[in-house]
Amino acid sequence: MPLYALRSDAATNTVVVGPRASLARRRVDAVGHLYVPVERAEAKLRYRSPAVGARVRETAHGFSLELDDPAYGVAPGQAAVLYEDDVVVGCGVVSAGGDN
């Protein structure tokens, strides 16, 4: 069974590994802007990954997403771009992967 790097700690020189399922995220928080108010959007979280439907909630510094399907390998610093049809309705930088 392959293992995947889940996180690292430079202070203790350790890497935590686990199964692929441990990388799945259904909630993602981002610092950024919603250009128009939306309750749902298609969220693109990785350049080569397909967009996933999400419920969008505006926050003080950006937005929070509740994904319809889990996304894998979402990490702080990645872009989160929200689409309605082919129009960008918001974008931000992932600040937290949330809970599974």
In this structure, is residue 62 part of a structural domain?
yes
In this structure, is residue 15 part of a structural domain?
no
In this structure, is residue 57 part of a structural domain?
yes
Cα 70 to Cα 67: distance, rounded to the nearest angstrom: 6
pTM higher than the cut 0.85? no
Give backbone dihedrals phi and psi of 22, rounded to 5 degrees, phi first: -70, -15
In this structure, is residue 71 part of a structural domain?
yes
In this structure, is residue 54 part of a structural domain?
yes
Beta bridge pairs of residue 2 = none
What are the average pLDDT values for consecutive 10-residue runs of the chain, which has 100 residues? 87 92 92 96 90 97 96 90 96 76
Q: What is the pLDDT of residue 54?
A: 98
In this structure, is residue 14 part of a structural domain?
no
Residue 39 DSSP one-character state: S
Domain that holds residue 49: 24-96
The CATH number of whichever domain residue 32 belongs to comes to 2.40.30.10
The domain tally of the chain equals 1
Rg (CA), the chain: 14
